[in-house]
Structure 1
């Protein structure tokens, strides 16, 4: 083992440690890796940054955009509503339909995005069936992981493995190359979960069912103790607030007054508009203000700012449901908002909605919420434009929207472009199946057409791309090249040959699956695929057999992140709503991973002979 290899392995261990502790963002670690390789002379600048020009990185980015197009046109939400209608009150039918639908959608969308969409669906269905959400949440996450085995573009590890095959000088996989294995694993997963559900979420209380049901505005106002907190105040002519931006006025700092909504004249009627930090107040505006933490008498405030109190009836919010929305938002374990106050996070300026309530340990908090330090498990009640609230459902880096109130049904969804989105999707799949057009180009064509048909705009497209994932892939790619240059891949292959080579190709497949699954416990499945794909292809070349079954086993193992709640983001997302503990995933996930391993080792060589 030479000094360069020792350095590369040491850097790899440091990266894995940082990934595991999560004290430094994964994308930042990836960028530090690139810097370290270039400064140490292990790789040249073109070699270390080659990932930025990799076609598969472009393909992954395009798939994020296409998935967002399906969300914006309402297709994904309509699928969820259809699921609830068809399943009725049958938990068995619901579980089967849920897993099949999520696996199918995940084949063309981000699995994390699919889970974020379906969590509210599962919560609503569980309440209607009077069962624990825990009986459905883990099947939801498992189906999302299995979706990575349904098509070539379903998950980044598939494209990483395919890229390694092309780099080795052989033809890559077809669009549905992994699908036969995925279908078998999905069928096995459905059967497994029909049995395992009886060990999940059996102890839900009546209070917990009430917490997760789909409530109305009235319910939310009652549960968060909002009654009597709001004031409806009209700007009189000459008010010093006219022409001022909310952030510039600093009403929360000066008076403890939080503007949560603005009524404004539009086309001969008043409509509610969002109260963002950049919103400029106009003459004849009517402000909806939360005065709970007010530091002055409301009458004095109205006098100083020339505001006129107006009637605020109990049905006010319900009457405004077409213009203003509410939603409950839950922080996820690795949210950067944990430990910060709403003021420090710049919540209103960042997301365009206002937090009007916080529930902690089941109780609504009172007082000056803007300076309250947010904690893991907090549920925030936000108010604002329906469009912005729906966008919260895909901002999965910090939180997920748990439940939209019943009034959302009265808001006409923007589904006029849905047929165009379906056409773009079908065209992309058709182009990929012909194999005459490169997959990245087919995806880009679909993205451009979605923009042409107004299924998505440029701002939403850029926002939809999960840049940390792309940077992670780009930053981990140099490891594969560095290990090859320094002899690390050959070293691992020799070790595998010494352990399993003499026992045959199937035993080698088994060893690769175990090694890939073990590494996946500590780092993301994408990073695992980047490291393991060159080893699998080199092992096949060393044994003188086809690289296809070896590459396929890595793709399947990378998607088999069932064993812990931190193995994949989709597991982390369902941890809170499902009421799970760490041991629940170990207890249910480890046996299923072993089943997938056995089935894969037996089936892959049949589909792709050695």
Structure 2
């Protein structure tokens, strides 16, 4: 009774939304330990669960796909099939996730497609919440189509094999999954999408601010040149409209050293920005050879370019750039000042009086850019500096990210190694190849609230077992429905499995109910296949709570959903698919 009371209070708080879902789950877990419903070891089991560890790794893999721009390319490849229609795009994406999740882990499929959905939403200017929850739901539906699609299917197949009866083939469950997918598509087309309260487009998926064109040139400073050893401030080039961006020193060509006033010049390439006539004049004056280079050369692992806006309370308003000390104090090189209806020449940058709303195109080291944008009131970054840095550094590793993703999918499909090992091999490869900028970015990409939610809910199944709830449920179904015939027993098993899978993991639910299904089939002297299949399908179709399946938990935080959103959208879908699934099971696997 204590366990059920705690669980009831947790569900009440989940629905009410008075506290964050992950906080409610952790508090509930703590009370289960304090009331001796769980031992500390049992309570902590969720945090070492392979599903939780796999999801953490998949978030890092997804970050690699997103930061390199590969997700955006995949999204761009799907968008033409939509032909400008959001409805058609929805159908294309849901069919894609359904097919993929039938052949590989539905958790892995969702992790791979989340960055694609975010990229597509950014390109189309819509909220990703319209797609993320359906993405999770259809991955669960797709998982019901094959034996390897979802763990409950494997549990069911193993239970039948160990019982010595019929076995399930790879596509034995395909008819059930196809019907459920068709019903799901019809549901979202008619009513499901209307029930989603998506709100505004989140800042994280708003279109990238357009970077204005930059003219970047490279001076070649050869060994023995008089400039070597001099400080940058001694050149006085800024008076002629030239801004020195940084050095790519000889021997360290892949590293960009951002320029400051006290930077000592070395042999190598000196990157500058300005009008070509000014660059040509100074190059001739200093005896330097120069060439036009791509603005991408300004970006590196250490430095890059960001657009800032001057807010209303900025102390920079009314000052000119040479008075702002942005270069000396913060290491920022202002390349352009963009003002509506006014063209500001490069030669006048240092003398122009700054106004509210001016946009400054600034270059510097990533750490300095972040400091100005996050820790001062001087400037407001048009896009999070960390996001710009991640994209700028990682996008050159797009091919590596694609190879890593393909390798991970192959490992998951052919099961050459444990799925968790395959995912973490891919996650670490993303970091080592630079597809994810560094480990701090990897940690930041993990949705910790989703992980804590599912890790805290996993031990609830053990608490219910310890309290005897599962044993009581077995007895109740046997006594209440056993005499009514196998069809009513199947409906009862399906309903009980479906309800419990909203609270504990679908795998744990299948493990608990598969033996029950075998026992009931023996008692009724009927084939165990329909009952065991009912357990597998009901455990997989969990739509009413964010912790009903790992895929629901993955999109919960990213989509900005509330617990009640899953109830509102998932409950009707749950009822409809349950009825259709039961009918299809009875037709496909008669007693």
TM-score (norm 2): 0.59
Bigger CA radius of gyration: 2
Does 1:76 pair with 2:71?
A: yes
Residue of structure 2 in register with 1:15 after alignment? 10
Question: Aligned match of 1:145 in 124, 137, 146?
Answer: 137
CA spacing shift, 1:426–1:383, aligned 2, 3 Å: closer
Q: CA deviation at 1:146?
A: 0.9
Q: Distance in 2 between matches of 1:605 and 1:589?
A: 24
CA spacing shift, 1:504–1:112, aligned 2, 3 Å: farther
Do 1:75 and 1:418's aligned partners in 2 also have CA atoms closer than 8 Å? yes
Q: Distance in 2 between matches of 1:295 and 1:322?
A: 20
CA spacing shift, 1:495–1:192, aligned 2, 3 Å: same
CA spacing shift, 1:182–1:464, aligned 2, 3 Å: farther
**Higher mean C-alpha displacement, 483-492 vs 451-460:** 451-460
Alignment of 1:97-496 (within 5 A): 97-104=92-99, 107=106, 109=108, 111=110, 114-115=113-114, 117-119=116-118, 121-122=120-121, 124-125=123-124, 138=130, 141-151=133-143, 158-159=150-151, 181-195=176-190, 217=210, 267-269=269-271, 290=310, 292-294=312-314, 298-299=318-319, 312-314=336-338, 354=373, 381-384=382-385, 386-388=387-389, 414-432=397-415, 437-447=417-427, 455-456=435-436, 459=439, 460-496=441-477
Q: CA deviation at 1:80?
A: 0.5
CA spacing shift, 1:200–1:439, aligned 2, 3 Å: closer
Q: CA deviation at 1:293?
A: 0.4
Query: What CA deviation, in whole Å up to 9, does each residue of 1:206-265 have, x standing for no partner?
Result: x99xxx99586499xxxxxxxxxxxxxxx989xxxxxxxxxxxxxxxxxxxxxxxx9869
Residue of structure 1 in register with 2:535 after alignment? 551
Do 2:114 and 2:132's aligned partners in 1 also have CA atoms closer than 8 Å? yes
Residue of structure 1 in register with 2:514 after alignment? 537
CA spacing shift, 1:138–1:496, aligned 2, 3 Å: farther
CA spacing shift, 1:54–1:426, aligned 2, 3 Å: closer
SS in 1 for 2:383: strand
Q: Distance in 2 between matches of 1:111 and 1:388?
A: 25
SS in 1 for 2:312: coil
Q: Distance in 1 between matches of 2:364 and 2:369?
A: 20
**Higher mean C-alpha displacement, 414-423 vs 510-519:** 510-519
CA spacing shift, 1:570–1:471, aligned 2, 3 Å: closer
Q: Distance in 2 between matches of 1:558 and 1:550?
A: 13
Q: Distance in 2 between matches of 1:189 and 1:322?
A: 49
Does 1:510 pair with 2:491?
A: yes
CA spacing shift, 1:16–1:529, aligned 2, 3 Å: farther
Query: What CA deviation, in whole Å up to 9, does each residue of 1:444-467 have, x standing for no partner?
Result: 454455556555576144444444
SS in 2 for 1:269: strand
Do 2:497 and 2:538's aligned partners in 1 also have CA atoms closer than 8 Å? yes
CA spacing shift, 1:441–1:217, aligned 2, 3 Å: closer
Query: What CA deviation, in whole Å up to 9, does each residue of 1:356-414 have, x standing for no partner?
Result: 9xxxxxxxxxx9999xxxxxxxxx95353554575xxxxxxxxxxxxxxxxx9xx9654
Q: Distance in 2 between matches of 1:304 and 1:62?
A: 44
Do 1:105 and 1:114's aligned partners in 2 also have CA atoms closer than 8 Å? no
Does 1:594 pair with 2:575?
A: yes
Q: CA deviation at 1:490?
A: 1.8
CA spacing shift, 1:89–1:474, aligned 2, 3 Å: closer
Q: Distance in 2 between matches of 1:176 and 1:483?
A: 33
Aligned length: 473
Q: CA deviation at 1:503?
A: 3.5
Do 1:150 and 1:176's aligned partners in 2 also have CA atoms closer than 8 Å? no
Do 1:63 and 1:109's aligned partners in 2 also have CA atoms closer than 8 Å? yes
Query: What CA deviation, in whole Å up to 9, does each residue of 1:320-360 have, x standing for no partner?
Result: 699999xxxxxxxxxxxxxxxxxxxxxx999889489xxxx
Q: CA deviation at 1:118?
A: 1.9
Do 1:536 and 1:551's aligned partners in 2 also have CA atoms closer than 8 Å? yes
Q: CA deviation at 1:24?
A: 4.2
Q: Distance in 2 between matches of 1:28 and 1:98?
A: 32
Q: CA deviation at 1:417?
A: 0.8
Q: CA deviation at 1:442?
A: 4.2
SS in 2 for 1:144: helix
SS in 2 for 1:16: helix
Do 1:549 and 1:604's aligned partners in 2 also have CA atoms closer than 8 Å? yes
SS in 2 for 1:294: coil
CA spacing shift, 1:55–1:99, aligned 2, 3 Å: closer
SS in 2 for 1:558: coil
Do 1:66 and 1:447's aligned partners in 2 also have CA atoms closer than 8 Å? yes
Query: What CA deviation, in whole Å up to 9, does each residue of 1:152-176 have, x standing for no partner?
Result: 899xx95488679989996999998
Segments of 5+ residues of structure 2 without an aligned counterpart are 213-231, 235-257, 273-296, 347-357, 522-527, 547-551
**Higher mean C-alpha displacement, 490-499 vs 106-115:** 106-115
Q: Distance in 1 between matches of 2:50 and 2:123?
A: 40
SS in 2 for 1:292: coil
Do 1:73 and 1:417's aligned partners in 2 also have CA atoms closer than 8 Å? no
Do 2:497 and 2:535's aligned partners in 1 also have CA atoms closer than 8 Å? no
Question: Aligned match of 1:88 in 83, 90, 102?
Answer: 83
**Higher mean C-alpha displacement, 420-429 vs 462-471:** 462-471
Q: Distance in 2 between matches of 1:548 and 1:528?
A: 17
SS in 2 for 1:97: helix
Segments of 5+ residues of structure 1 without an aligned counterpart are 1-5, 128-132, 220-234, 238-261, 280-284, 326-347, 357-366, 371-379, 391-407
Q: Pairwise CA RMSD of aligned residues? A: 5.9
Do 2:13 and 2:19's aligned partners in 1 also have CA atoms closer than 8 Å? yes
CA spacing shift, 1:198–1:104, aligned 2, 3 Å: closer
SS in 1 for 2:399: coil
TM-score (norm 1): 0.57
Do 2:68 and 2:397's aligned partners in 1 also have CA atoms closer than 8 Å? yes
CA spacing shift, 1:530–1:31, aligned 2, 3 Å: farther
Q: Distance in 2 between matches of 1:476 and 1:306?
A: 50
